[in-house]
Amino acid sequence: MPNSNSRRKFISTSIKGSMALGLTQGLTSYASAPQPLPFQQAPLAYAYGALEPMIDSMTMEIHYTKHAATYTKNLNEAVAAEVKESQSLESLLGKISQYSAKLRNNGGGHYNHELFWKCMRPAGGQLQEGPLKDAINNAFNGYDNFKAKLSEAAMTRFGSGWAWLYVDEKKNLQIGSTPNQDNPLMDASPIKGKPILGLDVWEHAYYLKYQNRRAEYVSNWFSIVNWKEVEKNLLLARP
Ligand code: MN
């Protein structure tokens, strides 16, 4: 379980940093504010085992402390080597084609996982009435169709990658997927916009429990989505 003191310290530092920059969105939009290097993983808001039985404790621990931690470490190396002036990760991803594959893979890897952890919570949360539900109903003609479409994006992503719910450049809610650690913020991505919910379909996210059964992982994952967080992300992307 992440240490709560370091969590408080991180939050406090983030708030101060955001206030100093005059940003009001710093609380949730962690990656949108320029931040002092090095990039850091935010502590998980729940224990490794808290998402069981949908995601097992060992998968969460290895995923967070090994896979995601390595993206963060390698991102910091790439930034130190290639990026001259301090800027937000979002800004960097928006011109990622100018940088190395190392920066693209690890910058995406860090951003995507930070979003992923926050968009999950222990099972029990339902999509409540509110702006997100309205937006989903309008864009996809109901929650069931939305779930089917996001699941299809996750299932048809061949190999490793992510399925996304994102706000496109015309402020429309969209569903799509990207390979590897790419995401819709990248200038190199064929789908463009601001991700508000991401689903990791790399085998490292589910293989210990589900082996080849990606469909079962995807289906179960919907019951641990933190819809309140997704709604916050929507309102930040489309005020
Ligand atoms: Mn992952």
Residues of the chain with pLDDT under 50: 1-30
Question: How far is ligand 1, taken at its centre, from the CA of residue 236, in Å?
Answer: 24
Question: How far is ligand 1, taken at its centre, from the CA of residue 200, in Å?
Answer: 6
Residue with tokens 């085992």: 49
Q: What's the structural domain count of the chain?
A: 1
Does some domain include residue 67? yes
Smallest CA-to-CA distance from 107 within 87, 120, 93, 123 is with: 93
Task: Measure the CA–CA gap between 85 and 109, rounded to whole angstroms.
Answer: 21
Q: What is the CATH number of the domain that holds 208?
A: 3.55.40.20
Question: How far is ligand 1, taken at its centre, from the CA of residue 8, in Å?
Answer: 25
Question: How far is ligand 1, taken at its centre, from the CA of residue 68, in Å?
Answer: 6
Question: How far is ligand 1, taken at its centre, from the CA of residue 33, in Å?
Answer: 23
Note the pLDDT of residue 124. 75
Around Cβ 206, how many Cβ atoms within 10 Å? 24
Note the pLDDT of residue 28. 37
Please check whether residue 167 is in contact with residue 196, taking contact to mean a CB–CB distance below 8 angstroms.
yes
Note the pLDDT of residue 36. 59
Please check whether residue 15 is in contact with residue 33, taking contact to mean a CB–CB distance below 8 angstroms.
no
Note the pLDDT of residue 186. 98
Smallest CA-to-CA distance from 42 within 55, 59, 29 is with: 29
Question: How far is ligand 1, taken at its centre, from the CA of residue 20, in Å?
Answer: 32
Question: How far is ligand 1, taken at its centre, from the CA of residue 63, in Å?
Answer: 6
Does some domain include residue 16? no
Around Cβ 48, how many Cβ atoms within 10 Å? 20
Does some domain include residue 95? yes
Does some domain include residue 37? no
Enclosing H/E stretch for 238: none
Give pLDDT tens digits for 77-123. Answer: 999 999 988 889 999 999 999 999 999 999 999 999 999 999 999 98
Does some domain include residue 187? yes
Note the pLDDT of residue 17. 36
Note the pLDDT of residue 27. 37
Question: How far is ligand 1, taken at its centre, from the CA of residue 180, in Å?
Answer: 10
Question: How far is ligand 1, taken at its centre, from the CA of residue 138, in Å?
Answer: 30
Question: How far is ligand 1, taken at its centre, from the CA of residue 170, in Å?
Answer: 29
Among positive and negative, which fits the CA dihedral 178, 182, 184, 189? negative
Note the pLDDT of residue 125. 74
Bridge partners (DSSP) of residue 164 are 176, 198
Question: How far is ligand 1, taken at its centre, from the CA of residue 74, in Å?
Answer: 15
Distances (CA, A) of 84 to 65, 81, 96, 99, 238: 28, 8, 14, 12, 31
Does some domain include residue 140? yes
Distances (CA, A) of 205 to 28, 64, 66, 94, 219: 23, 10, 12, 26, 14
**What are 89's two structure tokens?**
């990760």
Host domain of residue 199: 55-239
Question: How far is ligand 1, taken at its centre, from the CA of residue 128, in Å?
Answer: 28
- Count the residues in the chain: 239
Does some domain include residue 88? yes
Question: How far is ligand 1, taken at its centre, from the CA of residue 87, in Å?
Answer: 24
Bridge partners (DSSP) of residue 195 are 166
Does some domain include residue 2? no
